[in-house]
Structure formats: structure tokens, C-alpha cells
Amino acid sequence: RRRERGKGGLDSVSVSATMRPFLLLTLVSLSLSVSGDENSDRLNEYLSLRDRVKSKRVSSNDDCSILPPSLWCTSDTLAKKCGFYDQCQKFSKSTYNQPVLITLLYESLCPGCQKFITEELYPKVLKNFGAEFVKIELVPYGNAKISPEGEITCQHGEDECSINKFESCLIAALPDQNKHVPAIHCIEAQLKVKVDFNDAIQKCFETLQIGMDIQTMIQSCMVTRESARLQQAAAERTNNVYPDKHDHVPWVLFNNASLADAQFLIGDIPQLICSWWRGDKKIPYCEVEKVNARRFKIDRVCKNN
């Protein structure tokens, strides 16, 4: 059989064995050069890009224009070259040794708020960063509405209004975030699993050892105009965020900026604090080993000595 084939044409055998790649290449380049405009446009595009790269005609401005904004202040060399330097210096100066401000707009009975407080804000933000590195501002009001007469209607009904009020009073009675964030966390964790509110606060006062003095302050806040005043302030704080109004809760402000398109960062607050912090101290949590343990772990690196 083989013989017969060979007989049929030695040329065709040797073409398929050795010449095929060359033939293919020729065909490809032929089809590129003679076929439709689209292909030749693409070829020309490719050739000119290749030439530009070859002759290093990609200018320094091109490098700057593709540097992602979140890296603008990462290198003084690039910042100077690209014209970001002054703005980066301004940021460093005005935030130096200042905690990153995380403001949470929330309402007490919203499931997403309960989830954010119990799974993210308390365990990952408060517990990992001292008050010198992060300032947490809780605004218990959320999607409530206030009438010109100051009457408040809440998304999840009367209960929510009175719990929001209670939490306003609690925050005012315990201004230290290391006191009130754990307390709000404890209450929201109970409400999340449908524990009755009165049982929840008894349990949380007990486990967090919040004494009678504080409990009395909260109670008197609740029965006086103070609670209404605090809810009014929470309403104003919520309604005056800038530049974007909240369209859902939980809603987070980063250093007081309210940005709809930054809400997707709500689960990355620890990483954000690490990259935004400017100060004399290093944040222990942000040391390479620890911060990367949660994500891609960078260890066993190879140093270039």
C-alpha cells in the first residue's frame, strides 16, 4: 500500500511531511495581504504596534495614562513623573496619624445590616484595628423617613424605630467605639437570630458588663426628648451625606465620602485601611504575613541580594 501511495506522487508525500508548515505560513500571509480590508487593517495595526514597541516610541505619558488610580500614590518616582505627586503629598499630610473614618448608615432590623455588623465590621474591622487606625461612626437610621414635624417612620415598622432610638442612646452613653461597637454588635447578633429585643439587651448588658449607671443613662435618654434629638441628628447625618445619597443600607462612607460606586468595597475595609494608613506606626494587622494569610499567601519569597 505504502508503495502505491509513494508511486502516486513522491512530491505530495514530501510536501505533507516537510513543506506543510511553510505552505501554511505562505497561505496565511497571502490571505492576510490579499483578503478583506478587515484583515489587512488588523495586520497593519499589529505591525505598527510592533514597530512602536520596537522603537520605544511608547512615551512616558503612555505609562502614566495606564497606571490604575489606586496605585497613583504608591511610588514617589512614578507620582513625580506622572504629575500626581502634589496631590499624594496633600493626602499624606492631612491624614498623617489620623484614623481612617468608616461611617456606617444602617437600620437595626435590616438583615444585610445585621450581617455586615456581625460578620465584617465587628470581627474584621473593630477587632483588627485599634481606634488610632480606624474611627467607626455608626448612624442608626437607614431608610427611615422624617416628616417636617420630626415624626419618623421606619422601614421595618415601629419596633425598628424604637430600636434605632435605643441604639442612638446607647452610642451617646458609651462614646468610646471600643465600648459601643461591641454592644451594637451583640444586640444585632441577637436580633439576627430572632431573640426578643428585651432579652437581647439584658443578655448584652450582662456579657459586656455594662453597669447600672450606663443602663440608667440609656433609659433616661429613651424617655426624654434626648432620644428624639439623637434620631433627628441621625436623620440629618444620613440625609446630608455627600456626594451620593444612599439608595440602600448597609451603606459605608470612606473618610466621609459617600460614593455609590465604592459600595462594592464594603467587604474589603481591612485592606483599604492598610493601604490608606499614613503614620509613624505600622499597623500590626497589615504586616505582610498577617494580611496575606487571608488571601493569597506571599511567603517563601526569593530575595534579590
Nearer to ligand NAG, 115 or 135 (CB): 135
The residue among 185, 172, 273 whose CA lies nearest residue 219 is: 172
Q: Which listed residue (241, 249, 266, 273) binds ligand NAG by CB under 6 A?
A: 241
Interface stretch with ligand NAG, choices 46-54, 84-92, 164-172, 237-245 (CB under 6 A) = 237-245
Provide the minimum distance between the beta carbon of 104 and ligand NAG in the complex, in angstroms, as a whole number.
14
Nearer to ligand NAG, 56 or 93 (CB): 93
Q: Is 242 a binder of ligand NAG (CB under 6 A)?
A: yes
Q: Is 240 a binder of ligand NAG (CB under 6 A)?
A: yes
Interface stretch with ligand NAG, choices 86-94, 175-183, 235-243, 287-295 (CB under 6 A) = 235-243
Provide the minimum distance between the beta carbon of 209 and ligand NAG in the complex, in angstroms, as a whole number.
31
Q: Is 46 a binder of ligand NAG (CB under 6 A)?
A: no
Nearer to ligand NAG, 50 or 90 (CB): 90
Nearer to ligand NAG, 204 or 241 (CB): 241
Provide the minimum distance between the beta carbon of 264 and ligand NAG in the complex, in angstroms, as a whole number.
21
The grid coordinates listed for 138 are 455608626
Which residue's entry shows cell 462594592? 264
Nearer to ligand NAG, 96 or 242 (CB): 242
Nearer to ligand NAG, 125 or 204 (CB): 125
Integer-rounded Cα Rg, in Å, for the chain is 31
Provide the minimum distance between the beta carbon of 179 and ligand NAG in the complex, in angstroms, as a whole number.
20
Give 218's strand partners: none
Nearer to ligand NAG, 202 or 255 (CB): 255
Alpha carbon 75 to chain centroid, angstroms: 22
Give the x-and-dash track for 252-271 against ligand NAG (CB under 6 A).
----x---------------
Q: Is 136 a binder of ligand NAG (CB under 6 A)?
A: no
Provide the minimum distance between the beta carbon of 139 and ligand NAG in the complex, in angstroms, as a whole number.
11
Nearer to ligand NAG, 118 or 246 (CB): 246
Convert 273-289 into a string of H (helix), E (strand) and C (coil): HHHHCCCCCCCHHHCHH
User: What is the rounded (10 degree) CA torsion for 251, 130, 215, 138?
Assistant: -10
Interface stretch with ligand NAG, choices 116-124, 142-150, 154-162, 234-242 (CB under 6 A) = 234-242
Q: Is 198 a binder of ligand NAG (CB under 6 A)?
A: no
The residue ranges that bind ligand NAG (CB under 6 A) are 240-242, 256
